[in-house]
A and B are shown apart, each in its own frame.
Chain A
């Protein structure tokens, strides 16, 4: 699945370790919440970057105190209609101040990219045959925003006051 970040395709740096699977000898890993909570010390001791993947039923409060140890949080969209991760992304950025990568995974489609980006996602794992072009389309769709979010796009209200 192509990964899009900062308007370009990037290479996957993380090895996905599902459930109780063995950790690779070295390199960045992406683990589930349960694995992180069970093997926290061992994962940190590896000295490589750590990502945690949350299901849409797992709120980021569970890792709020751990974020300094993490470089990636992946938030799942089991279906594009399940919008819980929009709130999770905003909480990660705006409440917990997470500066690492917030990645959208699962049912990630062009039509939702803009909302995701506004909510704080900066990396998208989505099944398009032309992800970069889709990104341009999604960004071109909207140029006026009413809601202040952590993305710093100026809102209509802020622009009116200038």
Chain B
């Protein structure tokens, strides 16, 4: 993975010291809360319902074991002994004291981490496919460009006071695990007919109050122009994005209001002016960064490992876990291991300091000292030898990290909700816990098969409910928390937005409603048909009829 040189280290250290000065100014009253607010946000510090929340960036989801141990240390010393994995592949801490912040930032800087731009109206942490560099079907490794974009976007002088936050995601695979079409800019790395690397560029996707699927504004952008093209998009948006209403300030509204073709024309015009300028990436610079992402020292191994086969036969729990949690690796004899942080009856994405440290040890033993965070609030070990899987599994069981629900109904995406968040209108974590308890039986989950259930505690959609196959959104109706059900969303390459089925349910009612939807699906599916495929074939009617009664 990328390693800081003297410039990167100085940059982050200076920023930590600067924030120390700014906190002093705030505490002494020289800065008002209004003036301080955007400063702390741009360092990742939110004021939530009960305390400050610090969001630490995990650049495009890549972490090493020393960083994970530092996060564990911060959880233990400065927080309530746990952290929370987020849908931007970051980790956030919910109980931070403002006066501890300068010290925490210096601790983070010592392991090449920070909270810069994890909040605020600026370019947020760049996210990527969590299988980047290892997926069997990958076309190109997107991390090279994520890192170049990370540097370009860090404290960009022109784009630090945008109309609203700005999110960029990059994938290099046919299968989209980075939800690129639900981002302000989505970049899909591919090769053209001449075998050259380039990006398809999507703009104006996003969830929140007004969800949109991103529009493709360029089929092929040569990779050396990725920074200048993004600068052109941001420059158009910074000047024309709405500033009169924060709910209409995202780029998706601008693109929608002016039309993607008109928007694309402005971008192309701006880009023509700057494409040959200082942002054009020399091949040598791309190659310099690529070296950081060179494959680790893989062994030459046979594709199948006889012990692994035997262990699966002998140990049903291991067989179940292996069936659900492993993905195909590009190297023979290796596997990608998904590690679920959504155990039955627990908040999705929460991880204790002991689990963090234990997991860091496993990364050192089995995975070249590295790990990934996913936008589904889980962890990944990308490079495990198949012959090590059984030992790894036993240790994951001991850590409470061996839940076998990857891509199943128990593996929900869930925002912090009304238990933490100042914006939420309903609780979401307790509901996620109830649903995972209702479907706790692993055999039943496996029988239901691949399905994505996403839930948010309010219309701001941090839990990505619009792109869940089943989406749940909490609303407040006359001081009662109600939950609306939507079906048909997808976050993958066939991205689509779910539609609300009908009136909302109370907390118990929504759990029953989800079960009813699942039962209808099981009754009506064709052989091997996934939930989303059945829904797309049948439409919402059969689900509506059963939940709300058939029209007379």
Contacts and interface: CB of A to CB of B under 8 A. Distances in A.
Contacts of B288: 160
Interface string A81-110: 111101110100001000000000000010
B277 A149 contact: no
Given A111-B35, A157-B285, A144 B11 contact: yes
Contact of B243 (A82, A118, A146, A149): A82
B308 to A, nearest CB: 44
Contacts of A109: 35
Interface stretch (B158-166, B405-413, B418-426): B158-166
A154 to B, nearest CB: 10
Interface in A134-161: 137, 141-149, 155-157, 159-161
A112 B273 CA distance: 27
B157 A149 contact: yes
A23 interface: no
A111 B10 CA distance: 19
Contacts of B21: 137, 141
Contacts of B154: 146
B235 A87 contact: yes
A115 B5 contact: no
Contact of A156 (B7, B31, B162): B7
Contacts of A88: 239
A116 B11 CA distance: 18
B550 interface: no
A111 B11 contact: no
Given A80-B161, A156-B151, A144 B14 contact: yes
Contact of B18 (A141, A157, A159): A141
A146 to B, nearest CB: 5
A142 B18 contact: yes
Contacts of B22: 111
Interface string B232-267: 000100110001000000000000000000000000
Interface in B12-27: 14-15, 17-18, 21-22
A119 B157 contact: yes
- B121, B155, B158, B162 — which one has the most chain A CB atoms within 10 A of its CB? B158
A51 B468 CA distance: 55
A156 B8 contact: yes
B14 A86 contact: no
B279 interface: yes
B390 interface: no
Contact of B161 (A86, A90, A137): A86
A149 B155 CA distance: 13
B67 to A, nearest CB: 21
Contact of B7 (A87, A144, A149): A144
A156 B8 CA distance: 8
A160 B159 CA distance: 24
B451 to A, nearest CB: 41
B442 to A, nearest CB: 47
A17 interface: no
Contacts of B10: 143-144
Contacts of A157: 151, 285
Contacts of A160: 5, 7, 288
B38 interface: yes
Given A111-B39, A157-B151, A159-B7, A142 B14 contact: yes
Interface string B74-109: 000000000000000000000000000000000000
A114 interface: yes
B394 interface: no
Contacts of B238: 83-84, 86-87
Nearest to B22: A111
Interface string B413-455: 0000000000000000000000000000000000000000000
A118 B156 CA distance: 9
Interface in A114-128: 114-116, 118-119
A33 interface: no
Contacts of A114: 157
Nearest to A114: B157
A27 B484 CA distance: 67
A104 to B, nearest CB: 12
A3 interface: no
A148 B121 contact: no
B421 to A, nearest CB: 22
B300 interface: no
Nearest to B288: A160
A90 B235 CA distance: 10
- B17, B160, B277, B284 — which one has the most chain A CB atoms within 10 A of its CB? B160
Nearest to B148: A157
B158 A90 contact: yes
B158 A84 contact: no
A59 interface: yes
Contacts of A116: 157
A150 to B, nearest CB: 10
Contacts of B284: 161
A160 B285 CA distance: 10
Contact of B157 (A81, A86, A95, A159): A86
List of 3 A-B pairs having minimum Cβ-Cβ separation, nearest first: A83-B161, A148-B278, A118-B157
Interface of B: 5, 7-8, 10-11, 14-15, 17-18, 21-22, 31, 35, 38-39, 121, 151-152, 154-162, 235, 238-239, 243, 273, 277-279, 284-285, 288
9 contacts: A84-B239, A86-B158, A115-B157, A141-B17, A142-B155, A144-B10, A147-B152, A149-B157, A156-B7
